[in-house]
Amino acid sequence: MKLSIVENGKKVESSIDISKFAKEIKKNSWKIAIAGIIAAAVAYPLINMMTSKYVSTATVLIKAQQDNTSPLPQVEGFDSTRSGYYETQYALMQSHIVLKQAVRDLKLDQNPAFNGTDKKENAASTSEEELQQRVDHALNVMVRNLTITGVRTTQLASVSYESVSPELSADIANGVAQAFINYTVEQKRLKTLQAKEWNQEQMEEVKQQIVDQKAAIDSYLKKEGLLTFRGVDGFETEQLGIVTNKLADATQRRIVAEAQYNTVRLSGGKTLQDVISLPDISVHAQIQDLRIALVQAKRSLYDLRKRYGPKHTKILEAQAQVQAVEEQTRLVLVELEAGLRKQYQSLLASENAYKKELDEQKAAFQKLSSLRDEYNNMQTALLKTEELYKELYQRTKEQALSEDYLEPDAVLYDPAVPAERPSKPNKALLMIMVVMMVLIICVVYFIVKAALDNSINSVSQMKKRLAVEPLGEIRHFIGAGGRSQLVRLISDNQLDADIVHSMRTRILLEYPDLQSIAISSTESAEGRSFVAHLLANSFSFDQKTLLIDLDFFNQNGLSQTLAKPAATGVADVLKGAVTLESAVVNLNDNLAFLPRGNAKLSPLLMLSSEQLVALIAEARGRYQRIIIDVSAVSQSQDIQLISRIIDGVIFVLKAGAVPVGDALKALEKTRQKDTVLIGAVINQVTERNLETKEGLRALNSQTNELISSTGKA
């Protein structure tokens, strides 16, 4: 089935070939080795001339919080809990203020190697401006070799200095670290002094405020006539409580009297017996006597009724006596009711009097609340001011005590010591790195060179990159002369001839029914006519074969070597000037050649005519195999025009001549609807790229002959 360029590209891209890189490196390994030796020879004296330098490192521990050696809080100018705290400390350690102090402490401004002068001078005889210049120069020299870095995820910072002297490296590293520590202490001292002075000023102001506030409170109490008995409203509160208690007692007594009054009242459907049986009434002395008399009268009446009739005089007397006792009880209850009513009214009046007095006390207390609030506000302000004064006083005393002992924000955790060995240059490592770098560059160069080589140089590359079945390979013959001489050279050598015969054999085995075969290529001069001639010779061994030259673009084609200059051929047959039989040139018993003829028309017109179909049909009747040499794909569209008269196509590639992209495009044009792409032949393959067994056998035979001839000589 016909494949597109995209499908071919996917098929090619699915495989990765790294063997060509290995081969390229192996082939040029002696060049890589020589480059490494030269690099080592050049680098050795240069590396030995380098001055050794020593690096000493001091480790500084930056505190996240104060030590607990002193209970007194110190003045801090930072917040160690913020994310940028350590980065800030690292930046401060590298600031000019700290580094200049380190220069002065280490007296680097007097060192000729740092101050820019030729000799050590006395600082007393130097002006202030010159001293500053020397300090700045020493600072610039020191900074070039100073490195300050923070150890990640820790509170440590490393201070490293590089110098030709190990002692000087250690001194400067420790000096910079100590200068930073002293700087933090000095900053705390300055902040403590400033805070102390500010606190003392604030204490004087706050003390005067306390005096003024106390005077204002006294003036306010006198003006409003207030007493400070349990607060400004304590007296009124006591009075209000007394009246409230009295009102509660009066209310309680009034409720009790009202209940008793309502109890002795005979109204509301109550009988006399119901009233006197109540607990509150029954305990009354007169009621108790009357109840006893009533019980006795009723008992006497009951006994008499058993003996006498209802109209008997004794019965009537007993009834009168009961009625008299009841009347007397009612009179006592009426008197008791009147007394309780008067008592109730008296208690009610007393309760109302206390309510009135309580209302008056409430009104006076509410009027006093605004005065109380004002007094409380003034008193609260005074208390806050006194608390502030106490805090300022305490803080001032603490600062005075802590001024003599200020904790630094950092500690020289691991002082620098003179290095025993130089840190750089590591001459052995540098030599190895130079040699390895040169070797790597050489290897990369050859790999890039091989990667940029987009041509095809072997049978395996042709199969992988073009996704086409290789038909065979023809090695490169040096000094063989023209095409005819090279054909004779291959035909006369049995092993070289086997290369072409193996192509013929594969065609006979895999495509025995393909009678007309076209030979094409991407560009001209790739050996297309040469392969066509060789295949025609091979097929003519046992088959009548016709070799046709349809290449109208190249003047040095098959017609130039196999026929006379003015010989008639395809063009003349198509015009009807000659017949096929008269135009054919017989090269041997089984091989005939049909030249291209004298073409005056455009090849596109001739190859698209129906006479060409008739010509090939006639040739099919006379010959068993037809080999057609057609022009290169890049030169014309001939291969597409003759697709209707051919059965298969053989594609020829010159090793290392055509890029893969161009070859893929040319192959796409050769793949027509009914045309079979038999395979591809790679021509002029170098000896190291030969891969087929026929090509390797011929090469080995030639090598053995050369060795034998040299031995005989």
Q: What does the pLDDT look like over 530-559, one tens digit per residue?
A: 899 999 999 998 899 999 988 888 878 888
Q: 239 CB contacts (<8 Å, ≥6 apart)?
A: 361
pLDDT (mean) for 384-388: 90
pLDDT at 626 over 90: yes
| The predicted structure's pLDDT at residue 705 | 62
| Cα–Cα distance for residue pair 679/504, rounded to 1 Å | 12
pLDDT at 695 over 70: yes
| Cα–Cα distance for residue pair 94/149, rounded to 1 Å | 10
pLDDT at 78 over 60: no
pLDDT band of 437, cuts 50, 70, 90: very high
| The predicted structure's pLDDT at residue 706 | 56
pLDDT (mean) for 662-677: 80
Instruction: Render 594-627 in DSSP notation, one character per residue.
Output: E------S-HHHHHTSHHHHHHHHHHHHH-SEEE
pLDDT at 195 over 90: no
Instruction: Render 652-707 in DSSP notation, one character per residue.
Output: EEETTTSBHHHHHHHHHHH--SS-EEEEEEEEEE-GGG--SHHHHHHHHHHHHHHH
Q: 523 CB contacts (<8 Å, ≥6 apart)?
A: 632, 634, 654, 657, 658, 662
| The predicted structure's pLDDT at residue 310 | 78
3-state secondary structure of 458: coil
pLDDT at 124 over 90: no
pLDDT (mean) for 417-433: 82
pLDDT at 415 over 50: yes
| The predicted structure's pLDDT at residue 544 | 93
pLDDT band of 375, cuts 50, 70, 90: confident
Cis omega before residue 565 (within 30°)?
no
- Residue 69 in tokens: 């050696």
Bridge partners (DSSP) of residue 591 are 545
Q: Assess contact for 398 and 404: CB atoms under 8 A.
A: no
Q: Taking the model in full, what pTM does it have?
A: 0.48
pLDDT (mean) for 117-145: 76
Q: Which of 491, 473, 481 is nearest to 693 (CA)?
A: 473
pLDDT at 70 over 60: no
pLDDT at 474 over 80: yes
Residue carrying the six token digits 């006498």: 308
pLDDT at 248 over 80: yes
Q: Which of 548, 504, 547, 527 is nearest to 657 (CA)?
A: 527
What proportion of the chain, given as a percentage, has pLDDT over 90? 8
Q: Which of 572, 567, 603, 491 is nearest to 536 (CA)?
A: 491
User: Considering only the top CATH level, what class is 459-712?
Assistant: alpha beta
481 Cα distance to chain centroid: 67
* CATH number for region 54-197+408-414: 3.30.1890
| Cα–Cα distance for residue pair 163/142, rounded to 1 Å | 10
pLDDT at 79 over 80: no
pLDDT (mean) for 152-172: 87
pLDDT (mean) for 273-286: 68
Question: 178-182, 250-254, 515-519: lowest mean pLDDT where?
Answer: 250-254
Phi, then psi, of 471 in degrees rounded to 5:
-95, -30
Question: 101-115, 227-241, 397-411, 434-448: lowest mean pLDDT where?
Answer: 227-241
Continuous segment of H or E residues that includes residue 36:
helix 29-48
| The predicted structure's pLDDT at residue 452 | 74
